[in-house]
Amino acid sequence: MNLEKYLVISDEIKNALENNLPVVALESTIISHGMPYPQNSESAIRTQNVIRESGAIPATVAILGGKLKVGLTDEEIHYLGKKGYDVRKASRRDLAVLVSQKLDGATTVATTMILAKLAGIKVFATGGIGGVHRGAETTMDISADLEELAMTDVAVVCSGAKSILDLGLTMEYLETKGVPVVGYQTEDLPGFYTRESGFKVDYRLDTVKEIADAFKTKQELGLMGGMVVANPIPKEFALDSDFINGAINEAVKEAEKQGIKGKAATPFLLSKLKEITKGVSLASNIELVLNNARVAAQLAIEYSKISK
């Protein structure tokens, strides 16, 4: 496989991987499509700093000018933040065309997993994974993130699936695909903005070493696919479930009214939530991402110790 003409890994990340240093992948859709400018790029750089402070090396991933880039500069992050929705939201199906046409793309969870695997990165931090959308029994709107988790062996630290989704169906889908959902110090599946969702994770593990051991064992057994590490939002930033669920229902109704579907649905719903909650949801979103970055850094450190 001739990847050199497509894949560009920064010198820092390349050196870290060659020396078995802990590296954490970060997506770029959260920059271009998840938050408004300048909070998007500021939060991305802040997330990178949190990973460094925790003892690991951040590797933000994106497609720039048709190149699969692993390890962005601050300037490249600001570029993505300023361009916002003008940057294509890139999932697995978009990669070949964006690369061949030398276009830009903000990587989703699915695409970040693909690029992380190509580079050799095993741990990835994000806010929430995509999943089965509400009403999917008729629309068949199911995120490609779930299929990627079934195929690509990267551990994804997140606060569960985005709460705008059907969490019950998402868990059923992950079970069918054989993707373990591990709760970090919790038996409850986080509800993104809330610490609980009413659903249970598959296993509770109380240390990052236990999670690293389980993920390493999964690979050694030849079991294809990734692992969801569900990490609840810190208590001080969690939102009241009635408050946020009411806002989500209002946002979903507005999306249905406007006929917004597919890949446009999540950015619209997150933006609408920010409007309805007067910015409270955005503040919580930022904090949960930072918390996931800390845990992912710790996980990457433990994984590097057992991979020597």
Query: Is position 27 annotated as part of the catalytic site?
Result: yes
Three-state secondary-structure class, residue 206: coil
Q: Is the dihedral of CA 151, 155, 158, 160 positive or negative?
A: positive
Greatest CA separation for the chain = 54
Helix (H), strand (E), coil (C) string for 212-272: HHHHHHHHHCCCCCCEEEECCCCHHHCCCHHHHHHHHHHHHHHHHHHCCCHHHHHHHHHHH
Picking from 157, 303, 301, 131, the residue whose alpha carbon sits closest to that of residue 226 is 157
Q: What is the pLDDT of residue 263?
A: 64
For the chain, list residues with pLDDT below 70: 1, 262-263, 266
Q: What is the pLDDT of residue 202?
A: 98
Q: What is the pLDDT of residue 262?
A: 66
Q: What is the pLDDT of residue 82?
A: 96
Structure tokens at 75: 């300037």
Q: What is the pLDDT of residue 273?
A: 75
For Cα atoms 196, 202, 204, give the angle at the middle one, nearest 5 degrees: 70
Task: Identify whether 22 is preceded by a cis peptide bond (ω within 30 of 0).
Answer: no
Question: Among residues 27, 76, 148, 302, which one is catalytic?
Answer: 27
- Helices vs strands, H then E, count in the chain: 13, 11
Picking from 165, 166, 167, 199, the residue whose alpha carbon sits closest to that of residue 273 is 165
Global pTM exceeds 0.85: yes
**pLDDT tens for residues 76-117?**
999 999 999 999 999 999 999 999 999 999 999 999 999 999
Q: What is the DSSP letter of 189?
A: P
Question: Among residues 69, 122, 162, 263, which one is catalytic?
Answer: 162
Q: What is the DSSP letter of 205?
A: E
Q: What is the C-alpha separation between 160 and 94, in angstroms, rounded?
A: 25
Q: What is the C-alpha separation between 301 and 159, in angstroms, rounded?
A: 20
Query: Is position 83 annotated as part of the catalytic site?
Result: no
